[in-house]
């Protein structure tokens, strides 16, 4: 085990810094859009390579720690790369590249303003995301968590109109408010009682800590990381749909929301420890809260006519799936929950890409206007279909695998009632996705508003959903790509 890692010790920090370094470069090349986007792609590629360079080492069962800076006595800004962090980084960094292609297609087609600012803050947000993925302790995680909240604000409010202002206010109020009012004191209390914020599988709390304060802490963390969208702190997410679609796609299907879920899962696995959660029966509490969110949000999704808002409510439900899965505190449940981070990311980003492509090509935002659109945009709508399969959990898309694990996890944890939640919500998922697809392809000619020649969005906006939809299918056949990292993580 003691052989040295085949990469620089500072690689995790470099992977975080890459996109930050790109920010000034993007800013000064504002006048030459091709050069500007070149920096984005270069940073994205370097970041991906840096992440990949560590993957083999992690798969071999190692972890890698790098201390950047001692910021409080005994408390480091510490990067630690392990299986779970690697999984998240491997989801986020390639999707940044794909989203950047899509951004170019989307932003240029719509001739959006302030694109330089847009690409700058996008890069900062990605740094923060990778920072969260590679955080070695709760303090570092909190640092990057806040950085992400702030850096995404200009993205969410990109249009700078009244609607954007309202959405942006809600966004910051919820995210900043909960992190300051709940997560920060919870972190300080944890540090005071346990004397450590380092993630470890056994948890940080000394044996015999009484259950009542632990339950309070758990709730503070659960609601404090409101990026995970647990009700009643969810309504920032539909509000944030005022953002341009690439932002919604990457940040609100992958980066921001998954950072919330990732943080909560880290708290479950690294601060409390799954055994402690099971011993104190805190898993029942978590499953009740997350289960309610799953059901309520799925029901709310049914009634949304704005496609992006429907996707947002679907995301809220799927995020709670993940928390539900890991919160079961059984091995299979944890595997399923973590895997769902990846599976849902690829599925949901496809759906958002498609929503944006429809908007670019036809200017349509509402589902009721999309009858027959499948004949006009067959490629886009096929990708949409595959994405929805993955989110519902049907073959041949990756979502099925993670859901199977979670269902088994519920049995393993002897919480059979959770199965009912999975069953009902899967039906609801199907109920809010299939009508869209059905109307798009088979809507009768009277209902169809879209007839005429094929009219796909520009290439740059069509390629990304095709790529991510393909990835969803590939993940169905080869879930090991991500599952191996989880196995390694849970084995340690």
Partner 1 sequence: MSLEQHAIIIILAPLLGALVISLIGGLHRRVAYLTLVAALAVSFSSTIATLSQVAARAAEGPLHYFLGDWQPPYGIELVIDPLNALVLTMVAGVSLLVAIYSKETVRRESPDRLHHYYTLFALLVAGLLGITATGDIFNLYVLTEIAALASYALLASGRGFAYYATFKYIIMGTIGACFYLLGVGYLYIKTGTLNMAEMQAFMTRPALLHSESIRVAFILIMVGLWIKMAFFPLHGWLPNAYTRTSTTTSCLVAPLMTKVSVYVMIRVMFGVFTLPYAYHVMGWNTAVVWLASLAIVAGSIGALAQTNLKRMLTYIIVAEVGYMVGGAWLGNAAGLTGAIYHIISDGLMTACLFMAVGAITFKTGEINLEAMRGVFRRMPVTAAIFVVGGLAMIGIPPTCGFFSKWYLLSGGLAAGHYGFVVALLFSSLVNAVLFFRLFEIGYYPLFDAQSEAGQHDKVVVAEAPLSMLVPMLITAAMILVVGLYTSRIVSGLIEYALPAGLKL
Q: Which positions lie near partner 1, rule CB under 8 A?
A: 69-73, 75, 111-114, 142-143, 146, 150, 154, 157, 159-162, 164-165, 168-169, 172, 176-177, 180-181, 184-185, 188-189, 191-192
Q: Judged by CB, which is closer to partner 1: 69, or 459?
A: 69
Q: Judged by CB, which is closer to partner 1: 175, or 237?
A: 175
Residue 167 CB, shortest distance to partner 1, in Å, is 12
Q: Residue 146 CA to chain centroid, in angstroms?
A: 16
Residue 41 CB, shortest distance to partner 1, in Å, is 25
Residue 161 CB, shortest distance to partner 1, in Å, is 4
Residue 17 CB, shortest distance to partner 1, in Å, is 15
Q: Judged by CB, which is closer to partner 1: 126, or 186?
A: 186
Helix (H) or strand (E) holding 385: helix 378-392
Cα angle for residues 345, 17, 159 (degrees, 5° grid): 60
- For tokens 């920096």, the residue is 39
Contact partners, residue 483, CB within 8 Å, separation at least 6? 335, 339, 401
- CA 78/CA 76 separation, integer angstroms: 5
Residue 189 CB, shortest distance to partner 1, in Å, is 6
Residue 143 CB, shortest distance to partner 1, in Å, is 5
Q: Judged by CB, which is closer to partner 1: 224, or 372?
A: 224
- CA 415/CA 474 separation, integer angstroms: 31
Residue 465 CB, shortest distance to partner 1, in Å, is 25
Q: What is the largest CA-CA distance in the chain?
A: 71
Q: Judged by CB, which is closer to partner 1: 169, or 364?
A: 169
Q: Judged by CB, which is closer to partner 1: 179, or 472?
A: 179
Neighbours of 6 (CB within 10 A): 11
- CA 281/CA 194 separation, integer angstroms: 20
Q: Judged by CB, which is closer to partner 1: 175, or 397?
A: 175
Q: Judged by CB, which is closer to partner 1: 154, or 347?
A: 154
Structure tokens at 19: 């996109």
Residue 215 CB, shortest distance to partner 1, in Å, is 17
Residue 177 CB, shortest distance to partner 1, in Å, is 6
Q: In b/e form, how buried is each residue of 137-161, taking b as 16+ CB within 10 angstroms? A: bbbbbbbbbbbbbebbbbbbbbbee
**419 within 8 A of 411, measured Cβ to Cβ:** yes
- For tokens 């309504």, the residue is 235
Q: Judged by CB, which is closer to partner 1: 134, or 313?
A: 134
DSSP structure class, residue 66: E
Q: Judged by CB, which is closer to partner 1: 167, or 333?
A: 167
Structure tokens at 153: 């604000």
Neighbours of 2 (CB within 10 A): 3
Residue 347 CB, shortest distance to partner 1, in Å, is 31
Helix (H) or strand (E) holding 181: none
Q: Judged by CB, which is closer to partner 1: 86, or 186?
A: 186
Cα angle for residues 254, 255, 261 (degrees, 5° grid): 85
Cα angle for residues 107, 110, 113 (degrees, 5° grid): 65
The SS3 call for residue 198 is strand
- CA 492/CA 490 separation, integer angstroms: 6
Residue 186 CB, shortest distance to partner 1, in Å, is 11
**430 within 8 A of 391, measured Cβ to Cβ:** no
């Amino acid at each position: 085990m003691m052989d040295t890692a085949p990469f620089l010790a500072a690689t995790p920090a470099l992977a975080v810094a890459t996109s930050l370094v790109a920010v000034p470069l993007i800013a000064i090349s504002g006048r030459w859009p091709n050069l500007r986007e070149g920096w984005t792609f270069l940073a994205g590629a370097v970041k991906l390579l840096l992440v990949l360079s560590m993957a083999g080492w992690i798969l071999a069962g190692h972890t890698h720690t790098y201390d950047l800076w001692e910021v409080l006595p005994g408390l480091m800004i510490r990067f630690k790369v392990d299986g779970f962090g690697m999984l998240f980084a491997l989801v986020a960094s390639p999707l940044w590249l794909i989203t950047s292609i899509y951004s170019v297609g989307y932003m240029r087609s719509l001739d959006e303003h302030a694109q330089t600012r847009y690409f700058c803050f996008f890069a900062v947000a990605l740094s923060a995301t990778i920072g969260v993925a590679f955080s070695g302790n709760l303090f570092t995680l909190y640092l990057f968590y806040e950085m992400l909240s702030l850096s995404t604000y200009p993205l969410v409010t990109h249009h700078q109109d009244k609607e954007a202002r309202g959405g942006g206010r809600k966004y910051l109020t919820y995210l900043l408010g909960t992190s300051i009012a709940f997560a920060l004191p919870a972190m300080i209390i944890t540090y005071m009682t346990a004397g450590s914020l380092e993630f470890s599988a056994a948890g940080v709390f000394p044996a015999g800590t009484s259950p009542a304060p632990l339950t309070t802490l758990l709730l503070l963390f659960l609601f404090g990381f409101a990026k995970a969208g647990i009700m009643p702190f969810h309504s920032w997410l539909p509000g944030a749909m005022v953002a341009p679609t690439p932002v919604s796609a990457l940040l609100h299907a992958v980066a921001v929301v998954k950072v919330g879920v990732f943080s909560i899962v880290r708290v479950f696995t690294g601060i409390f420890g799954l055994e402690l959660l099971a011993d104190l029966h805190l898993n029942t509490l978590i499953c009740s809260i997350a289960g309610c969110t799953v059901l309520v949000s799925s029901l709310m999704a049914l009634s949304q006519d704005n496609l992006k808002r429907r996707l947002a409510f679907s995301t809220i439900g799927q995020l709670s799936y993940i928390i539900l899965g890991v919160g079961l505190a059984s091995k299979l449940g944890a595997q399923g929950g973590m895997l769902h981070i990846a599976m849902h990311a690829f599925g949901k980003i496809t759906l958002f890409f498609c929503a944006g492509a429809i908007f670019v090509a036809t200017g349509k935002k509402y589902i009721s206007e999309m009858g027959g659109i499948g004949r006009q945009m067959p490629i886009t709508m096929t990708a949409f279909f595959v994405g929805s399969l993955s989110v519902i959990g049907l073959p041949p898309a990756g979502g099925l695998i993670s859901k199977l694990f979670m269902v088994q996890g519920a049995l393993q944890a002897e919480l059979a009632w959770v199965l009912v939640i999975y069953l009902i919500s899967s039906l609801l998922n199907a109920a809010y996705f299939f009508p869209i697809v059905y109307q798009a392809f088979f809507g009768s000619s009277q209902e169809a508003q879209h007839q005429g020649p094929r009219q796909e969005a520009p290439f740059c906006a069509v390629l990304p959903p095709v790529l991510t939809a393909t990835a969803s299918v590939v993940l169905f056949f080869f879930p090991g790509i991500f599952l191996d990292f989880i196995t390694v993580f849970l084995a340690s």
